[in-house]
């Protein structure tokens, strides 16, 4: 562990007791699975929820459930105030310039599709190019494949090396006069690689090319400042940062969002509707929020960000880095096991394969030891193709995980080896 990270842990009093205290806030972690204490290491898929988030959603439905924005009665006004306060919490958390730049979506996937269709489709012409990387989640590949097919644009792919790192020099070669959009992941969900997104953005902007960042795996684990990064769009999901499912965020520069057409039509995204004169659109951010939103989810996400902010994202990152180094050291010593994704800059993900054992079998055996991991291609099939494997077993860490959890994981892996000889 780096000296600075150790200091962060010590200053916060977290070196051995932080996670043990934090995990008490998560009621689901108190249960047993197959008679064993639950060790939840599937956080890259979805994190667990603290009591505060669960209570916030429950309180909304029990005390002031109502639709937002258009009601004049008390419940609607209370709900609207809570919902818009959550938007402001998000703005502050990612340091957007204005709450008009914070669009509520169902998740990072919908946010990326929104940008591809509303921004990309009108910008792209036959022969134009969109650049993505070979480590992208399907959510940052398929929307661009669709819009390229619709417009005649071409998708270009930045390769990765054997460590799972973004090849920056190859990226610079791809940037050119036909490049119209760069869409890149901040942190890889399959490899844990932390990409140099600020450099990626600066290089694109030197060609006047806007950049879309998939931040689903970054926001829970690293400090994200959209103004410091300089990105044009940034997408993330609530459920990966201890918030509810079905809620997410698209950040976009206000002048870009203002010029984009609506992604969906319906209630609340309109200003006027007429059969004679057509329709006009609501102001930002509501232009992109058609229909009744996930109000409880938005409020819950705001509380989740309060929770993370109270601990401090730097303390969380330091704790997770300690777990990553500890786990990597132990797992690397297991004969017949290979870690997939060994980037120098890496988040708390350990993906691995074992000789003669399918990842699904690893996941099943670990489950019977009470350990929840993810097994498969992780919605990143091109990554698996790059490493010539069908999938990996993936353990991913969160603030409530401990070294004891890692020890249980490693004991479970030894059980896999014992059963498969």
Indicate which residues carry an active-site annotation. 379
Q: Which two tokens stand for residue 384?
A: 């698996």
> Phi/psi of residue 49, each to 5°?
-115, 135
According to DSSP, the residues that pair with 187 across neighbouring strands are: 194
Q: What is the DSSP letter of 247?
A: -
Q: Alpha-carbon distance 367 to 158, whole Å?
A: 36
Question: How many whole angstroms separate alpha carbon 15 and alpha carbon 319?
Answer: 8
Nearest in space to 164 (alpha carbons), one of 132, 191, 137: 191
CA–CA separation, 234 vs 101, rounded Å?
A: 10
Would you say 82 and 223 are in contact if contact means Cβ atoms under 8 Å apart?
Answer: no
Rounded distance, CA 26 to CA 37, Å? 14
189 phi/psi in degrees, rounded to 5? -75, -25
Structure tokens at 256: 């870009």
SS3 content of the chain, % helix, strand, coil (to 5): 45, 20, 35
């Amino acid at each position: 562990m780096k000296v600075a990270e150790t200091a962060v842990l010590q200053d916060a009093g977290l070196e051995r007791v932080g996670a043990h205290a934090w995990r008490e806030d998560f009621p689901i972690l108190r249960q047993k699975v197959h008679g064993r204490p639950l060790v939840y290491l599937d956080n890259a898929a979805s994190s667990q929820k603290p009591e505060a988030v669960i209570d916030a959603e429950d309180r909304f439905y029990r005390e002031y459930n109502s639709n937002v924005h258009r009601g004049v009665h008390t419940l609607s006004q209370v709900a609207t105030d809570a919902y818009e306060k959550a938007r402001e919490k998000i703005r502050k958390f990612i340091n957007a310039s204005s709450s008009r730049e914070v669009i509520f979506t169902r998740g990072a996937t919908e946010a990326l599709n929104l940008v591809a269709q509303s921004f990309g489709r009108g910008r792209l012409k036959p022969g134009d190019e969109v650049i993505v990387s070979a480590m992208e989640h399907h959510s940052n590949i398929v929307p661009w494949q669709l819009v390229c097919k619709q417009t005649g644009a071409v998708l270009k792919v930045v390769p990765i090396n054997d460590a799972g790192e973004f090849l920056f020099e190859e990226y610079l070669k791809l940037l050119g006069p036909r490049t119209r959009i760069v869409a890149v992941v901040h942190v890889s969900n399959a490899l844990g690689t932390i990409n140099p997104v600020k450099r990626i953005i600066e290089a694109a902007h030197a060609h006047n090319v806007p950049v879309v960042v998939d931040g689903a795996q970054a926001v829970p684990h690293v400090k994200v400042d959209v103004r410091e990064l300089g990105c044009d769009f940034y997408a993330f999901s609530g459920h990966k940062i201890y918030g509810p499912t079905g809620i997410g965020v698209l950040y976009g520069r206000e002048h870009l969002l203002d010029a984009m057409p609506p992604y969906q039509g319906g209630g609340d995204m309109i200003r006027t509707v007429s059969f004679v004169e057509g329709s006009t659109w609501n102001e930002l951010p509501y232009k992109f929020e058609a229909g009744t939103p996930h109000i409880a989810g938005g409020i819950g996400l705001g509380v989740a960000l309060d929770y993370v902010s109270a601990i401090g994202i730097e303390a969380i990152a330091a704790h997770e880095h300690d777990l990553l180094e500890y786990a990597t050291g132990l797992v690397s010593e297991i004969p017949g096991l290979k870690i997939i994704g060994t980037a120098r800059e890496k988040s708390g993900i350990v993906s691995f394969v074992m000789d003669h054992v399918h990842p699904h079998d690893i996941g099943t055996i670990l489950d019977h030891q009470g350990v929840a991991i993810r097994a498969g291609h992780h919605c990143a099939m091109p990554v698996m193709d790059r490493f010539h494997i069908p999938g990996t077993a993936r353990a991913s860490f969160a603030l409530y995980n401990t070294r004891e959890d890692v020890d249980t994981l490693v004991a479970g892996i030894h059980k896999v080896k014992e059963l498969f000889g």
